[in-house]
Amino acid sequence: MSMNNLPYGTLRAFLTPFLMILFRPKVKGLRNVPASGPLIIASNHLSFSDSIFMPLVVPRKVTFLAKSEYFTSPGPKGLLKKLTFIALGQVPVDRSGGRRSEAALITGLQVLSEGKCIGIYPEGTRSPDGRLYKGRTGIARLAIESGAPIVPVAMFNTEKIQPTGQVVPNIKRVGMTFGEPMYFDGDSTDLAYLREVTDKIMNRIQELSGQEYVDEYAVKAKKPGSTKSEEENE
């Protein structure tokens, strides 16, 4: 077993029974998650704890993409942060060669080519008010170019369990619903088609979650003065 897999397996073995008892996850549709092969799990994003609860119920490792800076911070605090991200199944995205979206796409395609499962929050950031926001088209490119199916997921109550800025979680029941896999092919350079595919994914997540949909990027809702270029590079 590699060093990268050891913390993840150890954390999962320790946390799963503890969290199952405390938060009593109510899970629907888990049978929709393929047991093997490349897979993209696309979820709404209400809280940091989404990245803890959802992977714990999925019967295979879910890999998330994170900025490489999270893995290279100096000192004991930096080491703790690195181990935490590895334990949560995250891999670094090297953005030194270009925009974040391109770096994430390259890293994501590499992970999927190895037959692994990737977790993505198409909104790009946590919802500031519990509503579902416009998805970014990188997920459409990733699905089309990899050929991997997308399983949409709706998370429930995590924003109440761990509101933004709160370290100690509240004890409430967490819920999640996994939808049927979605398959896409076509021209990944056609921007209009990428938007169409992304909107279909977000519509399905909205159907599962029942959230109110907002046709703008979540980062814009958080930063009303943000520019288009800033939104594209989030």
According to the model, what pLDDT value does residue 227 have?
43
Whether the CB-CB separation of 130 and 46 falls below 8 Å is answered with: yes
Sorted by where each starts, the structural domains of the chain and their CATH numbers stand as 23-232 (3.40.1130)
Rounded (to 5) percent helix, strand, coil in the chain = 45, 15, 40
- In this prediction, residues 135-144 reach a mean pLDDT of 95
Whether the CB-CB separation of 205 and 42 falls below 8 Å is answered with: yes
Whether the CB-CB separation of 125 and 222 falls below 8 Å is answered with: yes
pTM of the predicted protein model: 0.82
pLDDT band at 76 (very low <50, low <70, confident <90, very high): confident
DSSP 22-87: HH--EEE-GGGS-SSS-EEEEE----TTHHHHHHHHSSS-EEEEEEGGGGT--HHHHHHHHHHHHH
Element (H, E) at 113: helix 100-113
The Cα–Cα gap between 194 and 187 comes to: 8
Whether the CB-CB separation of 133 and 205 falls below 8 Å is answered with: no
- Which DSSP state fits 172? -
According to the model, what pLDDT value does residue 188 have?
95
The Cβ of residue 95 has, within 10 Å, a number of other Cβ atoms equal to 17
Residue 25 clears pLDDT 60, i.e. is over it: yes
Q: What are phi and psi of 94, to 5 degrees?
A: -85, 110
- In this prediction, residues 182-209 reach a mean pLDDT of 97
pLDDT band at 221 (very low <50, low <70, confident <90, very high): confident
The Cα–Cα gap between 165 and 156 comes to: 18
Poorest-pLDDT segment among 62-76, 132-146, 174-188? 62-76
Reported residue count of the chain is 234
